[in-house]
Structure 1
Amino acid sequence: MPAAELPQDNAAQPDCRTLANGLRVAMLSLPGAGKAAISVRVAAGSHDEPEAYPGLAHFLEHLVFLGSAGFAVDQGLMAFVQGCGGQVNASTQARHTDYFCEVPADRLGEALARLIDMLTKPLLAEDAQLREREVVHAEFLARAQDADMLVATALGQALPAGHRFAAFQAGNRQTLPVEDAAFQQALHGFHRRFYQAAQLSLVLVGPQSVEELFGLAQRVASALPSQARYTQALAAPLLPLRRQQLRMSLQAGEPSVQLGFALELPGRLAGAGLDQALDFLQLWIVSESAGGLLATLREAELCRGLQVRVLYRFADQTLLLMSFSHVDESVQSAAVIAAAVQDWLAFFTARADYAALVERYRAIQGWRLQSLGPLALARYWQDGLAGGGPSPLGLTDQGQAAVHELLAQLQEPRRSIRLVTGCTEVASWPTAGFALRMVAEAAVSAPQRDWTWQLPAGNPLLNDDPAPGAMLGHRAQLQWLPAPAAVPAQQGGGLGAFHGRCCFADGLPLIDLLRVAQADVRKLQADAAQLGVRLQLSGQGDSLELSLQGPANLLVGVLRLLWPRLLEPSLQALQQAEPGAAADDMPIRQLLRRLPEVFGGPVEEGPALSVSQLRAGYRQARVEGLGVGFSPAGQAALERMFVTLPIPLQSHAPAMPWAGRYWQDAALDCGESALLLFCPLVAADAATEAAWRLLAHLYQGAFFQRLRSDLQLGYAVFCGYRQVRAQRGILFAVQSPHASAKEILGHIEVFLQVQSQRLASLSEAAVAAAAAEQGRQLREQASSAADFAEQQWQLHLAGLPESHPAALHRALAQCTRHDLLQQHHALGQAQGGWRVLANSRAPDKRWMTPS
């Protein structure tokens, strides 16, 4: 089958119906899937809340998780999903609020019952509101340092004064007066008006048949309160803009140029057609193709990266943002970039072969859908419902008309906003909510410049006859495993996954090798992402590690292009690898990316090696890899690229933990405290791991409740079982706006002490039930191609035998309360070592520095 041809099943659309109470339901059946997903959208968001109480809609999103008429907090959706190894979240946008979760397929009904009950019958107890307000305030403080949030707030200041996008919407301690009767009346009134059947849409995705999914929706959701659908008020006009040139100071991150566009399409184009057109244009704007907008600006050294996102979308209005990163902070540079964008838009409008691009877009959409799991599909089709119903792949006539209208409006000077961000200090800007340091500036024109643009080239991964992979002289140990039998054929005629690493000699500067690799695979990474293939690179110890997930027949093409770039990088990449970007993400996320530093300390910048020295190091590299779901032909094509070794992939003896307490200061420049505590297993045998997995399972909900809800340390609180390099163990993670790292650690230590009493009170039946649930989750992980590949690769990295999973299942079945207490004591005494990564120094001399 040529790569560009798509199995017809991948274009399958959900079955959409409406219940008698007005609830819109979409059902998508994925036979054989091990997981199921739910998405519920409430047609109301921050712009629908009373203006007197900014953040009320977001606050209500938090509150519904705090117990409902049918389920107490410890039996509610959050605890239920965490307990069965699923995922759950929610999001409040300008004109809608989404709730979504993914659970084992056989738990779909229980999850839906909890979700519907919490949305329609929340307790909204005032004491719980007071506690949760502190969590929302902690989130507000964290978001006040988030570059994306501040950029959106700044652009709002350019819109007309009456537009709600310019208003504060997140909520904090001051805007949510829980104690006031008027606020309570507004909160309950908002809930009654919008959290009812006619205002909701439900998407169910799972292995059940469409009729079974519809029957489930009828049984659970038919009792929803029903009243007339509330017509959301139209937004104030986006034009005329108050300001079109702004400069903002940011504490962290590289300088950027932000180009906003205030777009208003005619009503006939404002539905699904506009959504299609926005997605279509974003695809070509961010293309890494030679001669495209990004490649040309990067070659001219005007920027390094480009992202496009929709900041606001409702009815006929859209606020589109193009973000150019790593730029010169000058006004002149921003003017040149803005002029280049306009020149490219004019070129694309005049020269694009729309028929060919629409066909390529249809194929790209199909591959994207093929790669999505149940939760991502549920969210994708929820957006389709919002646009009036699912649309076929490609562009409809309405979508094509919307593309031309968008291109025309993007070129209208009156619709553009130019924002430059950097470290230059400027005065405070008067605004409610998030504090800005910003000034308005006079517009600057760019000198005339001739650009040589090219239309986006075709994705090389869709070539019918791709070029053969280069022959490499490197040694490789490759292992191939079939996809689990439970992987649904409809999801890809084989979804696959691959994990591998390039192992280098000691002494080579891994940080430089990673930069070279990132520079040389950037285009390939973008081509892969365009088709739904996830390609990630990281540096671990003395090796570059990679992981891929997506349709297996695409993964072969990605790897054939990837290996030469990793092992024989171009001279340009060796000479021009760019330094890493300054981090502007949340502190806790920065720490999670750097967690391997707890074993060995941070990667230090060493003396630069010459190109000849680097090339000599590459020639000595060897490859290890494990693939799942690849065809025999694909396996053979990849093996022919290497001097493959006859012995299978070998695992080394399990790494033993180091006892003691180790503290690594990540030296992050941020305003909040963040801390990760990783506690490795005291031994690598299956019995020890079984007990620690059960401990993590039992800690998880209690840890979240104690540190987030009771102590209100912050909204970023997590506990779970993890593997870091070769070590397995339990990870505790907390970010707090007011507690120091020392105080966070103290709360974790107290939590562990209290758990001794809780564990001692458990019955053997409760332990057996928890063990059975852990066994079920492990079996479920082995039923997904991506999860199975991850499981097998982690076994290899940990040096564990193939027999370990079976031994682990037996050990879980035999685990007792005595075993849990014994291992809990070992954890509390740091017998396997405690490893802390935090954004502060060690609190006392008990802590050593990793070596």
Structure 2
Amino acid sequence: MKKPALTFVKYWIFALVAAFAASSSLATPIIKSENDDRLYRTITLPNQLQVLLISDIDADKAAVSMDVAVGSAANPDSRPGLAHFLEHMLFLGTKKHPEAGEYQAFIQAHGGSHNAFTALTNTNYFFDINAADLEPAIERFSQFFISPLFSENYTDRERHAVHSEYRAKIRDDGRRIYAANQTLINPAHPASRFAVGNLDTLPNDKSGQLRKDLLDFYAQHYSANRMKLVILGKEPLDDLQALAIRYFSAIENKALPKFEITAPQILPSNLKTKIEIQTLADIRQLALNFTTPSDHPYLQSKPLQLISSLVGYEGEGSLLALLKEKGWATGLGASPGATYKYESSFHVSISLTPSGMEHTDEIIALFFSFIESLKQTGISETLFKEEQQLGKTAFQFLAEQAPIHYVTQLAQRMQELAPAYWLNSPYVLSEYEPALYQQFLGYISPENMTLSVQAPSIQGDTKEPYYNTSYRTSTIEEGLIKKWKQAPILPELHIRGNNPFIAENLAIKPAPEDKKSTPSLLNHTPDGVRSWHLQDTLYNTPKADYFFTLLTPLAREGADATVGLNLYTQMVSEELNKVLYDADMAGLSASIYPHQRGISVRISGYNDKLGSIATLIAKTLRAPNYSPQRFARILTAYKQQLKNAEKEKPYNQLFRVGYEILLQDAPLTELQAAADSYTLKRLEALVETLFTEVELRTLSHGNLTSAEAVKINNDLITTLSPINTAAIAPALTIKQLNDTHFEKVNIDIEHNDSAVILYMQSLDDSYQARASTAVLAEILSAPFYSQLRTEEQLGYIVFASPVTLNKISGISFVVQSPNTPADTVVSRMEYFFDQFTPTLETLSDDSFEKFQTSVLNRINEQDVQLTSKTRRFWREIDQNEWKFDSREQLSSALKKLTKEDLVKQWEVLRRHKLLLSSQGRAVSEASVATPPEG
């Protein structure tokens, strides 16, 4: 094999050096889960690049992540957004591969995906790809860190892409709230600064200056000794090590010092400050923020994580449970904030009801009452050991993640942790330190707090410059500080007790003799009940999934029924919340949700107590507590949710309207009208009607025997006790687009950006049509993005994606633009399609086979987790594919495809189109640069 850039002798010298580095670093071994059969090795290349190698012989996807320990904190004061801009520019060609879209096209054509992100202190680049194609992908990827071009001709274009990304989220309340809160941060701390970048912060008016600044930033901050690399592939470790040496040894080591933030995030003068922020969406939040010493040295005892777990608890005695009883809150979250060299932080966010907005001072007093109780009681060793055991069990039976997510997480952990803790750091809890916990609790005090209140009704007196957020700040009155400091301990607020759902039996059931790989129907079920089961020992874990659904024609009876089923499932979830929160903490999660054909329940986790949770949920479904207070709170929150749907990103709103048209769902306006007049009495009547006659389907999968599955099913049927069960599942139909009429729908959306979705639809649901559409989407995706996003700069949000609705395949082409009218976007799309037709007709055999193989690999990608396989089976059950062979059928159709089939299918798709568009408030023809000739 040819070894580019290195002579044969040099190659083996590097190999010997790296092997020595690997053997010495393994003196502190990487701790891995007992359920993890992958092999790990860490090496340090001569250029001081530290590499983690992961060999997984069963992997069908390889993945790579490079984490660079520098981010937006390093932006020059004169260039906000430069680090983010560099992240964009890095992908646009290298000396070895100068074509801007070549890397993206290669990854896409070989079954992969790629992305990057810029954070405050790190920038991460990552991709996955078919396992057989790892080396050529690594060769391309490595060149970004060796010889990026940062071409002048893309500098101006890509700053417009950064601006488009900024504009796409300018009405996003998360960004707007964050920007306003930045005004409370110490100006010397980089977290106080605008980091995304836009045309104003990245001006290019002086020829070549922006590119020079970019090159300077790269030269000053990108160095091998600041980088951490993770490579996951199916090759043996020695082969992966050879790849790392061959392709990454040429990255320059500039011996840069570690980039660290030493300035305090909050100055003493900003403590005891309240900031009130106006939101665009109908949301109400109360946020309490506290600065603490850095908790990074305390990995083994995790003080902030333990405190967060106790404050964020939602069961009996919790702060949230009391706030819900008072009708003041709908949700609460507690978490550690970002950790720097000398400090960390602790955050609490409370979602308020309209009534809660009137009682924020009392809510804060209740919070400090709970904190005082926690300080006096302390974190007991019993509670510590319970958390410790939960962490140990979770790590022991840790499920595999998708490779691309796994390598990205690990590359970031490598920046801060010793190798021993790269894999297990979230689960380590080995040192009980009650004095340390008290020390950190001491920082959660009114004197050490900044307070943020967010609501649409707030009228500010200042505008944040980048997101135009209206806000006002004030000093919290000393009387309130004193009141909160003296908040009394209340008996209804107390630390949680022992968790009753911790799994006790973690034995793996003996494998069944039949060795089946797909679910089978269980016998002895009444009419209208179908139950499938598969005992699956492949994942070697004491976990199982139990899904069931109640199907009813009621679900297709318009807006009133849709609203009712939403409220019903939320009422049940809310009633069960205290219990299900404990179960979730113990590794047994449950979700209850409505859909287009009824309602469903999914339970996943340790199988030991799965049956009891299923029965409890069924009991509550059949006889919910129709609390008027709970109904009022949930109805208000649901109406708020429907109202906020009008504030979503434009392209998301277009997708919603598209589904309303294609699936004949109730429009948002009808749902809002139905919710406005909905009553508790109507909800009670709906539930009674639901159980008059239903079709029940269940699926049990994992560490459950068929006898255990039968018992859970029988208990479920008995508890639900429907009056009648029958095969009455409503059919879903998709609107067939007319080939003689190009349907166009324009929606008025309150947003500056224009947006377009052009949906093309297949004629039928045959496997041949699905296969050809999937290959066409694979071929189209990269060039569509490259042309309309990279070359024409129509917007940051540009993508093409396959969409299958009720087995009818199609492709959606999406553009959201801050600078181009919708009509112009459509014309550029159509021009691209016109140019694509001859390209498709002349596609080479090699290219056709490459895309065909890529789609085959995507379709047959292995299920790395038990639940991902369960969900695949569940989709088959929902679509009446009870042979569970749709992947095989689709693969067979793919293998039979010809280029002529693609050409014919493309002609079909282009004749069956739905155009959804929004013009955008700030977009006009005058603002548009002349598009390329076409």
* TM-score category, normalised to shorter length: 0.7 to 0.9
SS of residue matched to 2:281: coil
Task: Give unmatched runs, 5+ long, in structure 1.
Answer: 1-5, 467-471, 842-851
Letter in 2 for 1:597: E
Deviation at 1:29, TM superposition (A): 4.8
Q: Which amino acid aligns with 2:287?
A: Q
1:453 to 2:516 alignment: no
Q: Which residue of structure 2 aligns with residue 758 of structure 1?
A: 839
CA gap of 1:250–1:612, structure 2 versus 1, over 3 A, is closer
Alignment of 1:426 onto 2:504? no
Does 1:570 find its partner at 2:625? yes
Distance in 2 between residues matched to 1:115 and 1:252, nearest whole Å:
40
Q: Aligned match of 2:165 in 139, 142, 149?
A: 139
Find the counterpart in structure 2 of residue 659 from structure 1: 737
CA contact (8 A) 2:544 2:702 kept: yes
Match among 426, 429, 439 for residue 395 of structure 1? 429
Q: How far does residue 314 in structure 1 lie from its aligned partner after superposition? A: 1.8
In the TM superposition, what whole-angstrom CA distance separates every residue of 1:564-585 from its partner, at most 9, and x where no partner exists? 4445433336676434233465
SS, match of residue 67 in structure 1: coil
1:287 maps to amino acid: Y
- In 2, Cα distance between the equivalents of 1:511 and 1:440? 39
**Are 2:408 and 1:375 aligned?**
no
Identical pairs, percent: 21
User: Normalised by the size of structure 2, how large is the TM-score?
Assistant: 0.79
Which deviations, in whole Å up to 9, do the C-alpha atoms of 1:99-152 show, x marking residues without a partner?
Answer: 233333334444433332223322111211211111110111123222222222
For 2:128 and 2:756, how far apart are their aligned partners in 1?
28
Distance across 2 between alignment mates of 1:394 and 1:577: 38
Q: Secondary structure at the match of 2:168?
A: helix
Q: CA deviation at 1:835?
A: 6.8
Residue 541 of structure 2 corresponds to 493
Distance in structure 1 (CA, Å) of the matches to 2:408 and 2:433: 21
1:346-393 Cα distance to aligned partner (Å, 9 max, x none): 222322444233333334435655245033433443443233224353
Tell me how far apart the structure 1 counterparts of residues 535 and 851 of structure 2 sit (CA, whole Å): 30
After superposition, give the CA deviation of every residue in 1:813-833 in whole Å (9 maximum; x if it has no partner): 222222111111111111xx5
Instruction: Letter of the 2:530 partner, please give it.
Output: Q
- Structure 1 residue corresponding to 2:270, chosen from 242, 248, 261: 242
Distance 1:249 1:625, change over 3 A: same
Once the two structures are superposed, the pairs formed by residues 89-100 of structure 1 within 5 Å of their partners are: 89-100=115-126
Task: Verify: 1:344 aligned to 2:426, yes or no.
Answer: no
**217 and 341 in structure 1: CA distance in 2 versus 1, 3 angstrom threshold:** farther
Q: Does 1:602 align with 2:666?
A: yes
Amino acid paired to 2:267 = L
Q: How far apart, in 1, do the equivalents of 2:848 and 2:783 lie? A: 16
CA gap of 1:563–1:528, structure 2 versus 1, over 3 A, is: same
Q: Distance in 1 between matches of 2:470 and 2:836?
A: 46
Q: Does 1:223 align with 2:250?
A: yes
User: Could you tell me whether the CA contact under 8 Å between 2:777 and 2:801 is conserved in 1?
Assistant: yes
State the 1:168 CA deviation. 1.4
The residue correspondences of 1:3-18 to structure 2 (distance < 5 A) are 8-9=34-35, 15-18=41-44
Alpha-carbon spacing, 1:595–1:545, altered in 2? closer, same or farther (3 Å)? farther
Aligned partner of 1:635 in structure 2 is: 709
Superposed displacement of residue 437, structure 1: 1.0
Q: Pick closer, same or farther for the CA change 1:198–1:694 going to 2, 3 Å.
A: same
For 1:86-485, list aligned pairs within 5 A.
86-178=112-204, 180=206, 181-206=208-233, 210-237=237-264, 238-242=266-270, 244-265=273-294, 269-271=295-297, 273=299, 276-309=302-335, 312-328=338-354, 333-366=359-392, 370-373=398-401, 374-389=403-418, 390-391=420-421, 393-397=427-431, 403-411=437-445, 413-424=446-457, 426-427=459-460, 429=462, 431-444=464-477, 445=480, 451=490, 452-464=492-504, 476-481=529-534
1:542 paired to 2:614: no
Map Cα deviations across residues 487-510 of structure 1 (whole Å, 9 max, x no partner).
Answer: 6x4xx5277666653212324712
- 2:47 is paired with a residue of what secondary structure? coil
Residue equivalent to 2:762: 681
Are the equivalent residues in 2 in contact too, given 1:665–1:840 (CA < 8 A)?
Answer: no
When residues 743 and 769 of structure 1 are mapped into structure 2, their CA distance, relative to the original with a 3 A threshold, is: same
Distance, in Å, in 2 between the alignment partners of 1:527 and 1:89 is: 36
Query: How many angstroms apart in 2 are the aligned matches of 1:272 and 1:131?
Result: 46
Q: After superposition, what is the alpha-carbon deviation per residue over 1:711-743, rounded to whole angstroms, capped at 9, x for unaligned?
A: 322222221222234533222233222344454
Structure 1 distance, partners of 2:612, 2:248, is 45
Distance 1:665 1:547 in 2: 37
Q: Which amino acid aligns with 1:435?
A: N
- In 1, the alpha carbon distance for the partners of 2:350 and 2:793 equals 37
3-state DSSP class of the match of 2:108? helix
1:610 & 1:90 partners in 2: Cα distance? Answer: 49
Distance 2:234 2:816 in 1: 38
SS at the partner of 2:363? helix
Moved more, 672-681 or 94-103: 672-681
Structure 1 residues 836 and 591, CA gap change in structure 2 (3 angstroms)? closer
- CA deviation vs aligned residue, 1:632-665 (integer Å, no higher than 9, x gap): 25533432234499x9999999957512355667
Provide the secondary structure at the position in 2 that maps to 1:462. Answer: coil
* Counterpart selection for 2:61 from 35, 59, 64: 35
Cα displacement (A) at 1:747: 3.7
CA RMSD of aligned residues (A): 3.8
Aligned partners of 1:86 and 1:511: how far apart in 2? 39
Question: Cα gap change, 1:743/1:233 in structure 2, threshold over 3 Å: closer, same or farther?
Answer: same
1:621 aligns with 2:694: yes
User: What's the CA shift string for 1:307-336, capped at 9, x where partnerless?
Assistant: 345553321222443222234488763322
Query: Secondary structure, in 3 states, of the residue corresponding to 1:441?
Result: strand
CA deviation vs aligned residue, 1:385-425 (integer Å, no higher than 9, x gap): 233224353324498765443322122x3431111111235
SS of the equivalent of 1:749 reads helix
Matches of 1:630 and 1:837, distance apart in 2: 48
SS at match of 1:100: strand
2:834 pairs with 1:834: no
Q: Distance in 2 between matches of 1:166 and 1:361?
A: 35
- Specify which of 494, 503, 525 is matched with residue 551 of structure 2: 503
Question: Residue 822 of structure 2 contacts residue 917 of structure 2 at CA under 8 Å; is this kept in 1?
Answer: no
Q: Shift of the alpha carbon at 1:287?
A: 2.0
In 1, the alpha carbon distance for the partners of 2:99 and 2:384 equals: 49
**Alpha-carbon distance between aligned partners in 2 of 1:118 and 1:316, rounded to the nearest angstrom:** 33
Q: Which moved more, 1:300-309 or 1:356-365?
A: 356-365
Looking at structure 2, the residues matched to 356 and 618 of structure 1 have their Cα atoms a distance apart, in angstroms, of 45
Corresponding position of 1:521: 573
Return 25-34 or 226-235, whichever deviates more. 25-34
Task: Supply the AA of the counterpart residue of 2:736.
Answer: W
Code of the residue aligned with 1:613 in structure 2: it is A
Q: After TM superposition, give the deviation of residue 682 of structure 1 in Å.
A: 0.8
Change over 3 Å in CA distance of 1:495–1:300 after alignment to 2: same
Aligned partners of 1:133, 1:827: CA distance in 2, in Å? Answer: 34
Alignment coverage as a number of residue pairs: 819
Moved more, 650-659 or 564-573: 650-659
Match of 1:729 in 2: 810
| Structure 1 equivalent of residue 892 of structure 2 | 810
Return the alpha-carbon distance in structure 1 between the equivalents of residues 788 and 153 of structure 2: 17
Q: Give me the whole-angstrom Cα distance separating, in 1, the residues matched to 2:728 and 2:137.
A: 42
Distance 1:710 1:275 in 2: 51
Deviations 1:23-55 (A, max 9, x none): 222344556343343332111111112111111
Please show how residues 770-781 of structure 1 align to structure 2 within 5 Å.
770-781=851-862
Residues 716 and 115 (structure 1 numbering): CA distance in 2 closer, same or farther, change over 3 Å?
Answer: same
Counterpart Cα distance in 2 of 1:399 and 1:667:
58
CA contact (8 A) 2:651 2:755 kept: yes
Q: Secondary structure at the match of 1:51?
A: coil
Shift in alpha-carbon separation, 1:359–1:326, aligned structure 2, 3 A: same
| 1:219 Cα deviation from its structure 2 partner | 3.3
Give the CA deviation at 1:75.
6.5
The letter for the 1-side match of 2:531 is L
Distance in 2, Cα, partners of 1:191 & 1:615: 62
